[in-house]
Amino acid sequence: MAHRTSKSLAPRLLLAALFVFAWTAAMALQSPPTQQRWYRGNLHTHTINSDGDSSPDAVARWYKEHRYDFLALTDHNYFTDPQGLNSFLAAKEKFLLLTGEEVTSRFESKPVHVNAFRLKSTIDPKFGSDVVDTLQQNVDHIRAQGALPSLNHPNFGWAFTPPELAKINNLSLFEVYNGHPTTNEHGGGGAASLDAMWDHVLTAGKRMWGIAVDDAHSFKTISPDLSNPGRGWIHVRARNLSEEAILEAIEAGNFYSSTGVELVSLNSGDGRLSLEVKERNNEKYMVRFIGQGGKTLAETFDNPASYSLKPGEAYVRAQVLDSNGRKAWTQPVFAK
């Protein structure tokens, strides 16, 4: 009797197994895996095609040899096409050159420099009736070409005040840190720092992500007084190392910026921001959570650290400082 029961169950067990297999395969097709990983890159650097001191090949090699995952060559008013270099330098998932250009304009004595990413040819600069109009025209022109604009070093030449920057539309990226030694990131003489400028724009209701960059020009001589590589970068969480995936993640604010502090984890959503710092050597860390008007919402030495928005708080972002002066910036988390 037991033997006959086993035989009668076999077909049904086989059919059940086939059903589970078919259902699993169908779900896999409908819901492909969305695993993401972190990629480190620099979005602002120069070659001999504008005012850098090294060839595109030499510049790209520096970043690849120093364990970067991606780089944008952003020469002034010149599109340095990375296609040939990509095929020469890059193995799959090893190194990527993004398309880029520093669209370089000005109003009177004020420089208006806007990086453009995801382009196919040189984008000519626009010149407006004042500094706000000049920036807006260049942002709109870059967008019209299907490219992504990013405002460079807003305190270079003291080009923009916080209220002027808050007037710009369709601009989601700006440099909260620029490694060039003459870009006045800390402000001074009554002018706001780049951090304070960011909070002014966020408090005005604009959503903007802050990036850290090298703005490197000098690769042959290393000096604190020169614009050398390796000073500022971003860590992007993306599905793969492609221009489409990297820029998609950057546009969504799925990255953090750094001058040397590395995060083990970073999570945000539903009005909550949490992070864990990768500890090294004997360094100490402080996490400052910053909100509307640049107000410090909390400071902690805890690692991991987290903050949840309270009623009436519009956003929170974090700045991590280590005991040797290096920093990291997360992107803001909004109440709505």
Q: Residue 129 domain-assigned?
A: yes
pLDDT at 4 over 80: no
Q: Let me know whether 101 and 168 are in one domain.
A: yes
d(CA 209, CA 274) in angstroms, rounded, equals 17
pLDDT attached to residue 83? 84
Q: Let me know whether 251 and 267 are in one domain.
A: no
**Higher per-residue confidence, 157 vs 85:** 157
Q: How many domains does the chain have?
A: 2
pLDDT attached to residue 175? 98
Structure tokens of 255? 């990255």
In percent, the amount of the chain with pLDDT more than 70 equals 88
Q: Residue 6 domain-assigned?
A: no
The mean pLDDT value of the chain amounts to: 91
Q: Which of 256, 272, 288 is the last residue of a domain?
A: 256
* Contact assessment for residue 71 and residue 94, using Cβ atoms and an 8 Å cutoff: no
Q: What is the pTM assigned to this prediction? A: 0.88
Tokens 């910053």 locate to: 290
Mapping DSSP to helix (H, G, I), strand (E, B) and coil, where does residue 126 land? Answer: coil
CATH number of the domain that 45 lies in? 3.20.20.140
Q: Let me know whether 47 and 175 are in one domain.
A: yes
* Peptide bond just before 229 cis, omega within 30 deg: no
pLDDT digits over 99-130, tens only?
Answer: 999 999 999 999 999 999 999 999 999 999 99
pLDDT attached to residue 336? 80
Q: Let me know whether 273 and 176 are in one domain.
A: no
pLDDT attached to residue 11? 44
pLDDT attached to residue 16? 44
Q: Let me know whether 250 and 299 are in one domain.
A: no
**Higher per-residue confidence, 306 vs 23:** 306
Q: Which of 235, 256, 277 is the last residue of a domain?
A: 256
pLDDT attached to residue 218? 98
pLDDT at 10 over 90: no
Q: Which of 167, 181, 163, 78 is nearest to 128 (CA)?
A: 167
Q: What average pLDDT does this structure show over 174-199?
A: 98
Q: Residue 73 domain-assigned?
A: yes
Listing DSSP states for 12-64 in one string gives HHHHHHHHHHHHHHHHHHHS-----EEEEEE--B--TTTT-SS-HHHHHHHHH
Q: Let me know whether 321 and 270 are in one domain.
A: yes
Structural domain including 249 reads: 37-256
Q: Let me know whether 196 and 269 are in one domain.
A: no
Mapping DSSP to helix (H, G, I), strand (E, B) and coil, where does residue 101 land? Answer: strand
Q: Let me know whether 199 and 164 are in one domain.
A: yes
Q: Residue 26 domain-assigned?
A: no
Q: pLDDT band for position 91 (50/70/90)? A: low
pLDDT digits over 240-288, tens only?
Answer: 999 999 999 999 999 999 999 999 999 999 999 999 999 999 999 999 9
Q: Residue 10 domain-assigned?
A: no
pLDDT at 12 over 60: no
Q: Let me know whether 312 and 252 are in one domain.
A: no
pLDDT at 21 over 60: no
pLDDT attached to residue 179? 98
Q: Which of 200, 235, 256 is the last residue of a domain?
A: 256
Q: Residue 312 domain-assigned?
A: yes
Q: pLDDT band for position 20 (50/70/90)? A: very low
pLDDT attached to residue 2? 41
Q: Let me know whether 248 and 264 are in one domain.
A: no
pLDDT at 153 over 60: yes
pLDDT attached to residue 92? 58
CATH number of the domain that 280 lies in? 2.60.40.10
pLDDT at 29 over 60: no
pLDDT attached to residue 25? 38
pLDDT digits over 59-77, tens only?
Answer: 999 999 999 999 999 999 9
Q: Residue 179 domain-assigned?
A: yes
Q: Let me know whether 166 and 199 are in one domain.
A: yes
pLDDT at 13 over 60: no
Q: Let me know whether 246 and 267 are in one domain.
A: no
pLDDT attached to residue 15? 42
Q: Residue 315 domain-assigned?
A: yes
Mapping DSSP to helix (H, G, I), strand (E, B) and coil, where does residue 151 land? Answer: strand
Structure tokens of 249? 């993640």
pLDDT attached to residue 57? 94
